[in-house]
Structure formats: C-alpha cells, structure tokens
Amino acid sequence: MSVVQTESETAIRPAVTTARRSAATKLISRILSTWMARIGAVLLLAIILAAIFAPVLTPYDPLVGDMGDMIMPPTLQHPFGTDELGRDILARILYGARISLIEGFFPVIVAIVIGAPIGMLAGYVGGMTDRVIMRFIDVLLAFPGVLLAIVIVSILGPGLFNALIAVAIYTIPIFARLARGATLSVVNEPYIEAAKLIGMSHARILRLHVFPNISSTLFVMATLRVGLAILTASSLSFLGLGAQAPSPEWGAMLANGRSYILIAPHMVIFPGLAIVILVLALNFFQNGVRLALDPKAAI
C-alpha cells in the first residue's frame, strides 16, 4: 500500500509543479496585460537594476566631491551635473535609489506584518475585541498621515530609520482596517464553518483559510502604498526629519538643492524627476496588479 502511495505521489508531484508554474505564468500575463502595467514594470525593473549596479554604472563616490567641480551644469563627464560640494548628482541618484526603494518597501512590509493580523483578529473574533481594536485604529486614522509621521519623528528624533518607523506606524491602521473588512467578507463562508466543525484551531483557520482569501486584497493595497510611502519618507527628508546629510536620499537632495535653484536648477530637477518616475512606475504597475487580482475589475 505504501509503495502504491509513494508511486502515486511521485507521479502527481510534477503535475502539481507544472500547474503552479502555469498559474504563475497566467498571473504575470494578466498583470502585464495593460500598457500602463508594462511601462511601470519596465521602469521599476530599470530602477532596481540601477540601484543594484550603481558602482558599475558610475565611477564616482556619492559622498565624495571635488571642490574644483562645484555646481557644474550637466556635461559629458557629469551627465546630471554636480552639487555645491562637487559631488556627482548622477552617482547620488543611483545610490539614492537604494534608499528610496527601502523607504517604499520596508514600511509597507512592516505595516502588513503587524496590521493584517490585527485586522484579521478583529474581524474574526468580533464583539468587544473588534470594537476596542477598531476604535484605536480610528483614532490613528483621524490624523493625516504625513502629520502623524512628523509627530512620531519629532518624538523619536530625525533620521532615516526613525522616518521609516514613522511611515510604518501610520500605515499600519490602513492595513488593519482593510484586513478587518476583507475578513468580515469571508468569515461566515461555509468552508470556515466546516473548518470549525472538524475542530480546527482558530489560529489555523486564520492562517490556512482566512489569510489566503484576503491576501490578494492586501497585495493590491501594498503596491499602491509603496509609492505613497516613498513620497512621505522623501517629504520627511525634505523637511530635515528623515535621512541626514551626506546621505544621497532624493528628498534630502531636493531640500539641499532648493538654495541653489536659481543658479543651478539641475540640483533640483534631477532628484525631483527621479522621485516622480519611481512613484509613477509603481502606480502604473499597481494598475496591472489591481486588474489581475481584483475579480470585479474588467480586463
């Protein structure tokens, strides 16, 4: 009997693997089904590769300048020009892409890891637990996101890590409320009731049945919030509350270049364009993800 089962499992396993690959291929095809998603994916991939291979793409150190090349306009030697300390702006943007990507993904990942379980618990348990959790979430959501982030950074102190924590904290309630609403839509489904009847633990139900059925909703929101997290973190750096000098963070570069905007506009134009292109790429890509994962969306 065991030999037959082993042979059956061996025969089934390749078929399962093939089916999973086919499903993944179909999902990617659906995500890239619109021109906006394709453009967003290409731009996002280009930015990620530029951040990874920054040392190969530029010979300059983003933190070291040449006092003889201060505030130079774009040239063949320095395609994006130099700043007030003679640092190559292209090098600073390439290395700064690493920081901006961290600013986008780190707070969102933290917010999902913390906020989603809180929202799932509130929606699944209900009653007083739901009311207490949601009232606390409502208090946090009552504050504008950037204002709450500024307050948190003011308490923790300026710095890139504290800015990331602040953005994550104000993003947590968004995912908590979203997870709670999505959980309420599936918690009374027959398969949940069946899992309870056979004695499955609540934690196991949440992990195996609730979360997989709401994960697409969370992922769609995550792709949208990454761009907003980058904008918020860049805003904090622009205000002097985020990344500190000499870090090549794009928001900090904007803040530094505004003093020279009349005599060296390239110090503001290129970091600003970098932020716009990255956020635009994420928003374009999010459009494809939404169309692929939202069953109500027309493709």
Q: Check if the beta carbon of residue 173 is closer than 8 Å to that of residue 115.
A: yes
Place of tokens 């998603």: 37
Q: What is the pLDDT of residue 10?
A: 52
For Cα atoms 125, 110, 233, give the angle at the middle one, nearest 5 degrees: 130
For residue 164 the two structure tokens come to: 């990331």
Which segments of the chain does DSSP mark as H helices, in order?
2-31, 35-52, 54-57, 89-125, 127-141, 145-156, 160-186, 190-197, 202-205, 211-238, 250-257, 266-293
Six token digits for residue 248: 């090549």
Q: What pLDDT is recorded for position 181?
A: 92
**Strand pairing partners for 82?**
88
Neighbouring C-alpha atoms within 13 Å toward the C-beta of 272: 11
CA gap 76, 69 in Å, rounded: 13
pLDDT at position 12 = 53
pLDDT less than 50: residues of the chain: 1-4, 8-9, 11, 16, 298-299
CA–CA dist 299, 291 (Å, integer) = 6
Write out pLDDT tens, residues 211-258: 988 988 898 899 889 999 999 999 999 999 998 888 999 999 999 999
CB within 8 Å of 67: residues ≥ 6 apart: 85, 86
Q: List CB contacts of 184: < 8 A, sequence separation 6 or more.
A: 123
Q: Is 241 helix (H, G, I), strand (E, B) or coil?
A: coil
Query: CB-based contacts of 274: which residues, under 8 Å, 6+ apart?
Result: 93, 96, 97, 100, 250
CB–CB of 169/110 below 8 Å?
Answer: no
Which domains does the chain show, CATH number per domain? 32-293 (1.10.3720.10)
Amino acid 11: pLDDT:
47
- Tracing tokens 């997870």 back to the chain, one arrives at 179
Whether residue 82 contacts residue 72, with contact meaning beta carbons closer than 8 Å, is answered with: yes
Cis link prior to 117 (omega < 30° from 0)? Answer: no
Residue 4 pLDDT: 47
| pLDDT of amino acid 15 | 52
Compute the residue count for the chain.
Answer: 299
Mutual orientation of helices 89-125 and 35-52 as an angle, nearest 10°? Answer: 120
H/E element, 244: none
